[in-house]
Structure 1
Amino acid sequence: MTVRMFMGDARVDAIAPDDRGLAYGESLFETMRIHRGDIPWWDAHMARLTHGTQRLAMPLPDATRMYAEAMALLDGADGVLKLQLTRGGGVRGYAANSDAAPFWMLSMHPLPNRIDSLDTIWCEITLASQPRLAGLKHGNRLEQILAANEVRAANADEGLMCDGAGRVIAATSANFFALIDGHWQTPVLDACGVAGVMREWVLAQVDAHVTSLKPSDVECADAVFLCNAVRGILPVQRLGARAWPRTHPEIRALQAALAQSHPGFEPLLEAS
């Protein structure tokens, strides 16, 4: 893994011991697919990061500087770029130090293993409701970690998570769409969940209903897929005892449109 770290405008060699992202999870992050040293959806990720800093009243480093440092790090490679941003250092205690310079870190990672469809489970761990944080990709991911442990124990690929009221929200690391009665539907994220960049792209392509969904709604769907900005669009082949065909024409059409929009997903479409 190749890493570059910064405190404000200055490059640093390590994260500070009093960093608030480390101490309290006061942080945001973006995970971006890299194609031949380029970041095709950089603007979309920066828009979400900017929205997150506004919601949390966190400082945002200069976007031009972040982009230049990211491009220097990539050096023509394919892979995954992770950008982590914290408020920076501060005194002990929950109250934030408004004068601290933000800490940000860029790290380069290999692409995940190729997978064409997903074997999924229902996770027992639920997502807590907090409307002030709903939609944000913040650094507090303990619920997803517990859910991922369930997925690993079941030898599955992914797990679907509900909130405390029993509404389906998302997978552990992806957003969720279901084809029900001829219409794509995706969960409303007004109390929890991450509003993914890939989710926003899909919503711009199809006339999807953003609504509340129960597990029984999902199990009766004609097709289901998960999506994120690293793996793209992946059909769900199995959810517990429910099975679907490996491919569906509407999912295939969305994958083809994605390959046109983001060159990093062209090889995936050709191989499927």
Structure 2
Amino acid sequence: MKGEGLTLVNGEPAASLNVMDRGLQYGDGIFRTLKADSGQLRWWKDQYQKLSEDCQALGIHCPEEDLLKSEAVRVASNDNVGVVKIVITRGTSARGYKIPELAQSTRIVTGFPGAPSISNQVEVRWCKLKLAHQPRLAGIKHLNRLENVLARSEWNDPDICEGLLQDESGHVIGGTMSNLFMVEQGKLITPDLSGCGVAGVARQRILRAAMRHGRPVQIEHLDRERLLAAEQVLLCNSLIGVWRVGRLETRGWPDNGWADKLKFWLNEDH
């Protein structure tokens, strides 16, 4: 199983999963997707910390860091692997939503080829789908991603790299697969994710770096009109790094240097 598609389930090579696994039955689990290069896992400490926090928020047993890292490195060391995806489910149970008292989490670690690079300037669009509020799940990268799947199905134009999502109140939340920053009067602002959305590791690293550099990011509710009036709009995640939005439908933005600044901050410490 060397190379593309190598998967470890609970540390063993596998190509299938127990049909009673709660990740399959109910989306009862969390996941992380990270870059890898010759067995080196990018931002591992941050990735594991976020995975651990998400597991804790859902009451799922989180695997020990050394065990999970060894499995991720094993997968990442195979030829052509540039992306590693880690899924932790609550494990198997009988039919029904009730959580078993002695749930044993399932670890799924899969390697994929590296994603092709895309121009740093991207075109995006608004999505029609509106995200529902659920503060209990807000920020968590859980397996229930139907909203993202449906939003991403709204377009097939290869020139459009991402779709921007609003919540049911009209607040801008981010992209279907990315977090969002905007520049207003020289200040960085990112959406409040207390009601919905995923608080990604790249977002977290930028927030932390901005604080170190004395440029703290404001976390606020943003509406569509305010975003369109911004001086710059940027998107980020663990695989793409930082994208500068060059065009959002009819609105365009020239480069003003903020994308390079965020890229530097994002990769400042490893």
Same fold (TM over 0.5): yes
Kindly indicate whether the alpha-carbon contact (under 8 Å) linking 2:76 and 2:83 is maintained by their aligned counterparts in 1: no
Are the structure 2 counterparts of residues 44 and 109 from structure 1 closer, same or farther at C-alpha, using a change threshold of 3 Å? same
Q: Which of 249, 253, 256 is the equivalent residue of 2:261?
A: 253
Q: Which of 227, 236, 242 is the equivalent residue of 1:233?
A: 242
Are the structure 2 counterparts of residues 51 and 260 from structure 1 closer, same or farther at C-alpha, using a change threshold of 3 Å? closer
Kindly indicate whether the alpha-carbon contact (under 8 Å) linking 1:33 and 1:79 is maintained by their aligned counterparts in 2: yes
Q: Partner residue of 2:213? A: none
Cα distance in structure 2, aligned partners of 1:163 and 1:50: 26
Q: Partner residue of 1:149? A: 153
SS at match of 1:261: coil
Counting only pairs closer than 5 Å after superposition, residues 1-272 of structure 1 correspond to structure 2 as 1-7=4-10, 14-75=16-77, 79-116=82-119, 117-152=121-156, 155-206=159-210, 207-245=216-254, 247-261=255-269
* Deviations, residues 157-177 of structure 1 (Å, cap 9, x unaligned): 101000000000010000000
Superposed CA RMSD in Å reads 1.8
Kindly indicate whether the alpha-carbon contact (under 8 Å) linking 2:180 and 2:233 is maintained by their aligned counterparts in 1: yes
* Deviations, residues 138-179 of structure 1 (Å, cap 9, x unaligned): 001111011111132585110100000000001000000000
Q: Partner residue of 1:267? A: none
Give the deviation of 1:40 after TM superposition.
2.8
Structure 2: stretches of 5+ with no match in the other structure: 211-215
* Deviations, residues 226-248 of structure 1 (Å, cap 9, x unaligned): 00001101100001110011x32
Give the deviation of 1:14 after TM superposition.
2.6
Q: TM-score, normalised by structure 2?
A: 0.91
The one-letter code sitting in structure 2 at the alignment partner of 1:144 is: N
Give the deviation of 1:72 after TM superposition.
1.5
Are the structure 2 counterparts of residues 154 and 79 from structure 1 closer, same or farther at C-alpha, using a change threshold of 3 Å? closer
SS at match of 2:99: coil
Give the deviation of 1:124 after TM superposition.
0.4
Q: TM-score, normalised by structure 1?
A: 0.90
Give percent identity, aligned residues only.
Answer: 33
Give the deviation of 1:12 after TM superposition.
5.6
Number of residue pairs aligned between Structure 1 and Structure 2: 260
Kindly indicate whether the alpha-carbon contact (under 8 Å) linking 1:177 and 1:186 is maintained by their aligned counterparts in 2: yes
Kindly indicate whether the alpha-carbon contact (under 8 Å) linking 2:141 and 2:198 is maintained by their aligned counterparts in 1: yes
Q: 4+ residue stretches of structure 1 with deviation over 6 A?
A: none
* Deviations, residues 102-132 of structure 1 (Å, cap 9, x unaligned): 1111111122221122100010001110000
Kindly indicate whether the alpha-carbon contact (under 8 Å) linking 1:5 and 1:103 is maintained by their aligned counterparts in 2: no
* Deviations, residues 6-52 of structure 1 (Å, cap 9, x unaligned): 34x77665310101010000010000011232013111111111111
The one-letter code sitting in structure 1 at the alignment partner of 2:100 is: N
Kindly indicate whether the alpha-carbon contact (under 8 Å) linking 2:22 and 2:92 is maintained by their aligned counterparts in 1: yes
Kindly indicate whether the alpha-carbon contact (under 8 Å) linking 2:173 and 2:193 is maintained by their aligned counterparts in 1: yes
Kindly indicate whether the alpha-carbon contact (under 8 Å) linking 2:75 and 2:84 is maintained by their aligned counterparts in 1: no
Cα distance in structure 2, aligned partners of 1:94 and 1:125: 27
Cα distance in structure 1, aligned partners of 2:201 and 2:266: 12
The one-letter code sitting in structure 1 at the alignment partner of 2:269 is: S
Cα distance in structure 2, aligned partners of 1:170 and 1:23: 28
